[in-house]
Structure 1
């Protein structure tokens, strides 16, 4: 099977870069990147600066893209936001449905309906498995039901990149779906627990300890709006779904030594990154607090939060990097520079290294704060490279 890729919600190209590092055979035939409410599309510009553009639709809202204009491909990839996936209502006069406006899962579904992509690899925050808080597991259940209706089987895993050798403690769910008529689907008809712990896509790529504690649920429903209204389930960190039956288990990674933050730091860093006269403010932000606040209805309460490590230990992998990394924020990394012994922020290049990008990957004309923003939105590239190697073997057998 040809290794033709379509990359949705592409950001600055983490999926593409990771796949191309795994093999030069991967060929991205189309991508889409559009950041809502931004006057400048810096991530799209960065992507194009590395690979060039493809057609006029790559830099606009995906909901405006005619799905038939997307080139044929065999692997659909994308890291999409965690949103409210609830089904609003059935479409009048049809058996179809309409998703809540603006929710990007429905755009992925529309692409799959139109293009019938044989393989799909998606990334999201791990809270997707538990959302929404009022109906745990509903959103992921809706996604699985959509994929089952379209003839896909699904494997998923929550992966902490640091547990597989990366330099960042970043937990994300990866979802691998494949059409039931592929050679892979026919070949992988193993016992669900074996598929989750030894023979499946994620178990092969990211080994885990054996675990026999498994839960199961059937996605029995009349239609998706009904499922959306009633379904709730406790999905674990790994799982498999085929023909609407879900098997899920909590797994323990076969631990690999992570990359310490120390190994990713630059030398001779510019003065502007040092805290110096801002030290008091940062000490307050990082420290414990008890603050009196008043709710909207006039109720007074005490907001409290514990302190966090200050500075961040550089002999451990970095914490999860957020899009707010450029701001004065308690989640922003502060380190003691091993060269100067002074406290400072991480640099844009260090942010790129934490995510596994090449130095100055985002140095394509965007303001510095957006370099941090795009890295906070990115995925850990070496994790994709590992998956790319497994995918190549799968595609070579199709």
Structure 2
């Protein structure tokens, strides 16, 4: 595979973040704001995007096809593809995907010949099914993304979910490295912390490099993640442990009764043993929120928060820390939701009274720091504690779809398409990943593949 095209399939593709990070967009790189050329040997030959919660409204898939074309793209439930049309999934070198964090517990099927299934966490089991059924031509590499709590879930058996994933990959002949990366630590515009997982099949040249060095040396110096996103080389807290290649045993027994996960933010898993470290990033200059903002003259009034706009319901009165405040308009409501609270509330169902307290959030958002994490509920006009609000010149306003795209390092208007609302575009970005992280990891992975 050296110096040849790397065939990629992209699962749970959303609006194509992995694809843009690996291939570039129109031949240009996200890290240059799509101004500089990017030479890439990655080629996404097949993709799948299906939203099971809205089976009749496949908006993300519509955007994906609009940007990348329909050829090689599937908008069918991936489980159905695997069960009824598996041959449509081409052989590939690299499988990528950002799969949701769910429950990865394991149950045996009624017929032993079918092996293991997940009780929940269906999308992980789709990945597992693909690599297992590609018996004679498994992908040499997997590149996955998830929320960082994967390392500590579930609450009653800390670390079990991640251990099940490692066990499945071990069973199928892979070594695995992982790292939690906050994009803002490396000069990217959003404080978005995610776990990135790379698996190397035992038939790959990189696997052979891993077994020739110590886990610490791989994690800190020689590994794909350590080279793409350098960490400090000082003394580190570490931990070691073993994981069976039987996912059912791991699901039932791993870390049972323990309140702390054995996994730290960086690690390597090889031949049933994991080594994990608490690494700290080599912080790069921060990328402030103000650098991604559109000119105020280009922003629709729909995004303005008006101190003159009266609330539709009657004047609201709130008792906070013995102080009575009056919410007269839209801006007051935003300030109230973002502010510190200690108040009595009443459960609308049973009338039970309880004390409610929460701390204050920065209002408006600090333009001189990287953005807070985008959430799926970022869109829409209704006031919210968690949506971004900025003050630009004398105007308080929400972020626009273009600005949300820029925070994830997508091209401007990537999600703009007829029939796709601004709220839906914001939802896409709340679900998306930071493309610049994928690009840097992809470039280093390609380099190591070709230096094997």
Q: TM-score, structure 2 length as denominator?
A: 0.84
Task: Write the distance in 2 (CA, Å) between the matches of 1:245 and 1:117.
Answer: 22
Q: Deviations over 1:285-341 (max 9, x none)?
A: 11122342449888643221111111000110000001100143211000001xx32
Pairing of 1:170-249 with structure 2 (within 5 A): 170-188=192-210, 189-210=212-233, 211-220=235-244, 223-232=246-255, 233-249=261-277
Higher alpha-carbon deviation: 181-190 or 242-251? 181-190
Task: Write the distance in 1 (CA, Å) between the matches of 2:365 and 2:356.
Answer: 24
Q: Of 31, 35, 57, which residue of structure 2 is paired with 1:40?
A: 57
Number of the residue aligned with 1:69: 88
Q: Of 110, 127, 137, which residue of structure 1 is paired with 2:149?
A: 127
Task: Write the distance in 2 (CA, Å) between the matches of 1:310 and 1:297.
Answer: 34
**Partner SS for 1:202:** helix
Shift of the 93–355 alpha-carbon distance from structure 1 to 2, 3 Å rule, reads: closer
Q: Deviations over 1:341-362 (max 9, x none)?
A: 2110000000000000111110
Q: Of 272, 287, 293, which residue of structure 1 is paired with 2:339?
A: 287
Q: Of 287, 304, 308, which residue of structure 1 is paired with 2:357?
A: 304
Does structure 2 conserve the Cα–Cα contact (< 8 Å) formed by 1:164 and 1:257?
A: yes
Does structure 2 conserve the Cα–Cα contact (< 8 Å) formed by 1:293 and 1:303?
A: no
Shift of the 149–315 alpha-carbon distance from structure 1 to 2, 3 Å rule, reads: same
Does structure 2 conserve the Cα–Cα contact (< 8 Å) formed by 1:91 and 1:98?
A: no
Does structure 2 conserve the Cα–Cα contact (< 8 Å) formed by 1:8 and 1:76?
A: yes
**Partner SS for 1:88:** strand
Task: Write the distance in 2 (CA, Å) between the matches of 1:199 and 1:393.
Answer: 12
Could you tell me which runs of 5 or more consecutive residues in structure 2 were left unpaired when the two chains were aligned. 25-37, 256-260, 310-329
Task: Write the distance in 1 (CA, Å) between the matches of 2:348 and 2:253.
Answer: 32
Task: Write the distance in 1 (CA, Å) between the matches of 2:53 and 2:410.
Answer: 26
Does structure 1 conserve the Cα–Cα contact (< 8 Å) formed by 2:241 and 2:273?
A: yes
Deviation for aligned residue 1:102: 5.7
**Partner SS for 2:376:** coil
**Partner SS for 2:74:** coil
Deviation for aligned residue 1:24: 3.0
Deviation for aligned residue 1:196: 1.2
Deviation for aligned residue 1:395: 2.8
Number of the residue aligned with 2:327: none
Deviation for aligned residue 1:78: 0.4
Number of the residue aligned with 1:323: 376
State the superposition RMSD in angstroms: 1.8
**Partner SS for 2:370:** coil
Does structure 1 conserve the Cα–Cα contact (< 8 Å) formed by 2:105 and 2:120?
A: no
Task: Write the distance in 2 (CA, Å) between the matches of 1:23 and 1:43.
Answer: 27
Q: Of 116, 134, 142, which residue of structure 1 is paired with 2:164?
A: 142
Number of the residue aligned with 2:17: 14
Whether 1:84 aligns to 2:103 is yes
Number of the residue aligned with 1:392: 446
Does structure 2 conserve the Cα–Cα contact (< 8 Å) formed by 1:23 and 1:389?
A: no
Larger radius of gyration: 2
Could you tell me which runs of 5 or more consecutive residues in structure 1 were left unpaired when the two chains were aligned. none
Whether 1:355 aligns to 2:358 is no
Whether 1:370 aligns to 2:387 is no
Number of the residue aligned with 2:40: 24
Does structure 1 conserve the Cα–Cα contact (< 8 Å) formed by 2:205 and 2:449?
A: no
